[in-house]
Structure 1
Amino acid sequence: MFLYQIRNDLALKLVSIQDADETFQLVDKNRAYLRKWLPWVDSSKTVEDTKASFLSFLKSYAEQKSLTTLIVYQGKIVGVASFNKIDWTNKIAYMGYWLGSEYQGKGIMTDVAKALTTYAFNELNLNRVEIHAAVENKKSRAIPERLGFIEEGTVRQTEWLYDHYVDHVIYGMLKSEWEQKI
């Protein structure tokens, strides 16, 4: 089982069916907030939907295609952080994340993204971490910017969010750059 301690009150743990109810409650409580930037929110209507997603995440993890973790802060699940895709051929991890609105502004996501980036380079021996964020999603974009990721460009109309397309900014970090920052 994957468990990655970041600090005394913060850890990442592999999704598990046992955590589906608590995770669903967090999503449900933050539904309107999360829906603005995440295309899957409307399809997560029940705990069973969350369990089905978790089973898919666990299968992908077993196949070494991704890593989806729950963010545990002070003993509570407060969000999700993942490598949505791991490209072993090119040694790239694509990071995604979300956090319940009441847990923002505590440095949680910055510490999580920093820990996952370090994990990608030191444990998985990858060469690159990418973060894609909607151009207008300032909070999500602030994470890679705070960590010194390089803004590499904008991809136009790359994601369909319910009734419209959004552009994404791509941020990248190379292992050699990260080693100089730490």
Structure 2
Amino acid sequence: MLVHKVDDEVSLRLFNKDDSEEFYDLTINSKSYLKEWLGWLDYTKSVEDTAQNIQSRCNELVENGGYPQSFAIIYNGEIAGTIGFNEINKANKIGVVGYWLGEKFQGKGIMSKAFKAVIDYGFNDLKLNRIEVRIAVENKKSRALPERFGFKKEGEIRQAEWLYDHYVDHVIYGLLAIEWK
């Protein structure tokens, strides 16, 4: 899956080194919006930092036997965000999905389309048995996504993530391949 067209507006594709500046600009322009729930934003200080991130994403392709682990979300020709598997446990066939969308792309149904495509990919192409999503308890907007697609709330992890000056608890959602039909 090098490019997967979801519909006329949304597609998923592999990142490439030419995306560094556009992806950096999206990240920085959405920084104050994203910072409420993403703890890594202060580590992105330059286009070069973003280029390194993209290179590590490209390396995942080799490590996963030609199967990409993460994607650029493209909306009408622009990078709108990213989605993919933050972790894949090959032995147990479990993938953990992570995602974010730039502020100006919110409210257009983009992430719902990308999320469904990645879940399909995880179960059908990667042959995962289980997909998880871990989200800060108070991040209601992000939590709505797995809930809408039939993921089950399985529990909470206390103080699961440090966000700049405080810990947040996470909700864990899970979905099994047999439940995705």
TM-score normalized with structure 1 length: 0.94
Give the CA deviation at 1:60: 2.5
Partners of 1:63 and 1:171 lie apart in 2 by 26
Q: Please point out which of 42, 66, 71 is paired with 2:73.
A: 71
Partners of 1:132 and 1:150 lie apart in 2 by 12
What residue number does 2:121 align with? Answer: 119
Q: Please point out which of 80, 85, 95 is paired with 1:83.
A: 85
What residue number does 2:132 align with? Answer: 130
Alignment of 1:89-168 (within 5 A): 89-168=91-170
Give the CA deviation at 1:144: 0.3
Partners of 2:69 and 2:5 lie apart in 1 by 15
Give the CA deviation at 1:61: 2.8
Partners of 1:6 and 1:151 lie apart in 2 by 27
Comparing 85-94 with 51-60, greater Cα deviation is found at 51-60
What residue number does 2:62 align with? Answer: 62
| Structure 2 counterpart SS, 1:51 | helix
Runs of 4+ in 1 over 4 A off after TM superposition: none
Partners of 2:6 and 2:175 lie apart in 1 by 20
Code of the residue aligned with 2:27 in structure 1: it is V
Partners of 1:57 and 1:38 lie apart in 2 by 18
Tell me, yes or no, if the aligned pair for 1:14 and 1:67 is still in contact at 8 Å: no
Partners of 2:44 and 2:51 lie apart in 1 by 10
Tell me, yes or no, if the aligned pair for 1:91 and 1:127 is still in contact at 8 Å: yes
Partners of 1:23 and 1:124 lie apart in 2 by 26
Code of the residue aligned with 1:159 in structure 2: it is E
Aligned-residue identity in percent = 48
Comparing 21-30 with 64-73, greater Cα deviation is found at 64-73
Code of the residue aligned with 2:148 in structure 1: it is R
Give the CA deviation at 1:20: 0.8
Alignment of 1:1-80 (within 5 A): 2-64=2-64, 67-80=69-82
Give the CA deviation at 1:85: 1.0
What is the number of residues matched between the two proteins? Answer: 179
Partners of 2:136 and 2:70 lie apart in 1 by 20
Query: Which runs of 5 or more residues in structure 1 are unaligned?
Result: none
Give the CA deviation at 1:104: 1.2
Tell me, yes or no, if the aligned pair for 1:133 and 1:168 is still in contact at 8 Å: yes
| Structure 1 counterpart SS, 2:180 | helix
TM-score normalized with structure 2 length: 0.95
